[in-house]
């Protein structure tokens, strides 16, 4: 199974359109700013994408359905950041991509834009960090209880100090996470007529929460913080793993996950305690196929230092040693006769 590396970027544009002067309705609190919004210049998004497939799929131009945008007024020209808009969701309800509520350029000053995809309202674990000074950030926690819908979190290059005269505001998104896949085969000798199937894979002691801060240099974000406090578990019973028998080495390792088991995790240098735990079973394939006969669990530490870079796909190639295995047979038995306990008692009569 070939997994494509996430090397593509998603190019978007925020477009300015003209309008006639008139009333507007917006959920943005413009009263804190000296400049009034230019209601003749609403911000719109013009992107050529189609409906999404699933939240966990790698984001591309054909499956992006929403993202969030925030903006600072006159960035770095004031002692503190003045947030002009926060976490406005951008969608395409008809032919145009628009924010909800509608947002506008300012009459004076400039705007700096910070965008990420997908929208925080669409997935778990995304928390914007609105900095008092300097670049904002995103705190992210991949949900270990929602493996099926892990998002491909993308952050756009900040667009700083722009006015409506810029025309289209470019927004180029970059993948911020690491994809993790497991490729396996086995060695050793299972019982005659038995095959080997993986039923559970766990990543233990992984950093589960970190903060990605926007930067002005590639890749335009930087991860920081976090402790190894999270476990991620892939289950055959939850359709994270392919219902397949492992091939015997020297046959090549095969990817055991299916699309629901794709892991999008936080880039990090793994702690020495990080490990992979594998549970596999012997199945009797003849004469009664697919009958589980025995289950085993093995664990291996991930060599340290081991780095998960952003925007990369890592395949752990693992050979499971099943040893020279024989089933446990119980043969022969005996049953002792009941014997008296040896207690001495008197006969009791009831009238």
DSSP collapsed to 3 states, 224-273: ECCCEEEEEEEEHHHCCECCCCCCECCCCCEECECHHHCEEECCEECCCC
The three-state secondary structure class of 183 is strand
| CATH 2.60.40-classified regions of the chain | 178-206+227-323
Please name which of 41, 32, 105, 111 lies closest in space to residue 72, comparing C-alpha atoms: 111
pLDDT the model gives residue 340: 62
Per-residue pLDDT of the chain (351 residues; tens, 9 = 90+): 333 333 333 344 444 332 333 333 334 444 444 455 555 555 544 342 222 223 346 777 667 789 999 999 999 999 999 999 999 998 877 766 678 888 888 889 999 999 999 999 999 899 999 999 999 999 999 999 999 889 999 999 999 999 888 776 677 888 999 999 999 999 999 988 899 999 999 999 999 999 999 999 999 999 999 999 999 999 999 999 999 999 999 999 999 999 899 999 999 999 999 999 999 999 988 777 788 888 999 998 887 668 999 999 999 999 999 987 665 656 566 677 776 666 656 665 655
pLDDT the model gives residue 346: 60
Q: Which CATH architecture has domain 178-206+227-323?
A: Sandwich (2.60)
Q: Are 254 and 185 in contact (CB under 8 A)?
A: yes
Q: Radius of gyration of the chain from Cα atoms?
A: 29
Could you check whether the bond before residue 250 is cis, i.e. omega within 30 degrees of 0? Answer: yes
Could you check whether the bond before residue 305 is cis, i.e. omega within 30 degrees of 0? Answer: yes
Q: pTM of the prediction?
A: 0.80
Whole-number Å distance between alpha carbons of 136 and 155: 12
Whole-number Å distance between alpha carbons of 322 and 186: 7
Distance of CA 179 to the CA centre of its chain: 8
* Burial annotation 114-126 (CB, 10 A radius, 16+ → b, else e): bbbbbbbebbebb
pLDDT the model gives residue 84: 93
What's phi and psi for 90, nearest 5 deg?
A: -110, 125
At residue 22's C-alpha, the angle toward residues 84 and 107, to 5°, is 35
Q: Are 201 and 183 in contact (CB under 8 A)?
A: no
pLDDT the model gives residue 18: 29
């Amino acid at each position: 199974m070939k997994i494509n590396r996430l090397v593509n970027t998603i190019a978007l544009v925020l477009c300015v359109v003209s309008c006639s002067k008139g009333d507007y309705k917006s959920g943005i609190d413009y009263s804190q700013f000296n400049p009034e919004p230019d209601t003749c210049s609403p911000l719109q998004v013009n992107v050529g994408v189609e409906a999404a497939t699933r939240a966990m799929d790698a984001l591309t131009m054909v499956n992006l359905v929403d993202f969030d945008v925030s903006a600072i007024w006159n960035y770095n020209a004031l002692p503190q950041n003045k947030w002009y808009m926060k976490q406005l969701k951008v969608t395409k309800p008809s032919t145009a991509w628009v924010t909800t509520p509608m947002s506008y350029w300012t009459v004076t000053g400039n705007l700096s834009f910070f965008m990420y995809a997908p929208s925080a309202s669409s997935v778990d674990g995304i928390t914007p960090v609105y900095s008092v000074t300097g670049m904002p950030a995103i705190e992210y926690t991949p949900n270990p209880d929602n493996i099926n819908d892990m998002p491909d979190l993308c952050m756009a290059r900040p667009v700083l100090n722009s006015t409506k005269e810029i025309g289209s505001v470019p927004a180029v998104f970059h993948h911020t996470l690491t994809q993790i896949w497991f490729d396996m085969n086995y060695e050793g000798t299972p019982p005659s007529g038995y095959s080997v199937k993986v039923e559970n894979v766990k990543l233990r002691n992984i950093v589960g929460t970190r903060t990605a801060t926007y930067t002005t240099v590639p890749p335009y974000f930087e991860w920081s913080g976090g402790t190894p406090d999270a476990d991620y578990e892939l289950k055959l019973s939850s359709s994270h793993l392919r219902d397949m028998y492992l091939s015997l080495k020297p046959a090549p390792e095969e990817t055991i996950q299916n699309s629901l088991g794709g892991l999008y995790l936080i880039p990090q240098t793994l702690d020495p305690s990080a490990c992979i735990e594998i549970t596999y079973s012997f199945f009797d394939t003849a004469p009664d196929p697919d009958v589980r006969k025995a289950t085993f669990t093995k664990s291996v530490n991930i060599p340290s230092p081991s780095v998960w870079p952003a925007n990369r796909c890592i395949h752990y190639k693992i050979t499971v040693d099943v040893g020279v295995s024989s089933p446990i047979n119980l043969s022969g038995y005996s049953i002792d006769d009941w014997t008296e306990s040896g207690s001495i008692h008197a006969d009791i009569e009831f009238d």
